[in-house]
C-alpha cells in the first residue's frame, strides 16, 4: 500500500492517482513546492484534463501536502520507477543513466551580497538520446 494509513472513502474527494500525476507533471516541469504545484496545475488544467478527469478540479496545496505526507517514500519510488519503465521501456534496471551536476560560483558586484549558489543536475539516457530531467 502506497499510503501510511488508510483514509475513509467519505473523506476522499480527489483521486490519488490524479493527485500524484499532477504533482509528478508539475515537478518534471520545474515546480518544487505544493503551492506552486497547485498554481502550475491550475494554469495547465485543460492539458491535464486531456488524460484525466479531475472531477473536483485541482486539489488545494494543503491536500497535495497531506497526500505526500501519507505516501511511503520507498513505495512511491518503486511505483515511479515502474511507471517510467512502462513509459520508456528501454529504461530497464540495467540501463545506464548518466548523471551530470554543475554548480555556479557565487558572484556579486563590489559591496553587494553574493547571489545564492545555483546547482543543476541532469539525467541522460545515452542509449536512447533522451534527457530525463
Q: Where are the domains of the chain?
A: 9-87, 98-131
Are 114 and 106 within 8 A, CB to CB? yes
| CB neighbourhood size of 21 (10 A) | 17
- Biggest CA pair distance of the chain: 60
Task: Give the whole-number percent of the chain exceeding pLDDT 90.
Answer: 27
CA distance 70 to 68: 5
Q: Does position 3 have pLDDT exceeding 60, yes or no?
A: no
| Residue-level pLDDT at 64 | 92
Task: Report which of 32, 57, 55 is spatially closest to residue 44, judged by C-alpha positions.
Answer: 57
Q: Does position 104 have pLDDT exceeding 80, yes or no?
A: no
Q: Does position 33 have pLDDT exceeding 60, yes or no?
A: yes
Q: How confident is the model at residue 109 (pLDDT cuts 50, 70, 90)?
A: low
Q: At what angle do helices 61-70 and 16-28 cross, to 10 degrees?
A: 100
| Residue-level pLDDT at 50 | 94
Q: Does the pTM exceed 0.85? A: no
CA distance 6 to 18: 17
Amino acid at each position: 500500500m502506497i499510503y501510511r494509513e488508510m483514509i475513509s472513502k467519505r473523506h476522499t474527494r480527489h483521486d490519488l492517482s490524479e493527485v500524484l500525476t499532477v504533482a509528478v507533471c508539475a515537478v518534471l516541469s520545474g515546480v518544487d513546492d505544493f503551492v506552486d504545484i497547485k498554481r502550475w496545475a491550475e494554469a495547465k488544467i485543460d492539458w491535464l484534463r486531456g488524460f484525466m478527469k479531475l472531477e473536483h478540479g485541482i486539489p488545494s496545496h494543503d491536500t497535495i501536502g497531506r497526500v505526500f505526507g501519507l505516501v511511503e517514500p520507498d513505495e512511491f519510488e518503486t511505483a515511479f520507477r515502474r511507471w517510467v519503465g512502462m513509459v520508456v521501456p528501454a529504461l530497464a534496471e540495467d540501463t545506464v543513466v548518466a548523471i551530470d551536476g554543475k554548480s555556479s560560483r557565487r558572484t556579486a558586484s563590489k559591496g553587494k551580497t553574493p547571489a545564492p549558489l545555483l546547482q543543476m543536475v541532469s539525467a541522460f539516457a545515452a542509449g536512447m538520446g533522451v534527457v530525463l530531467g
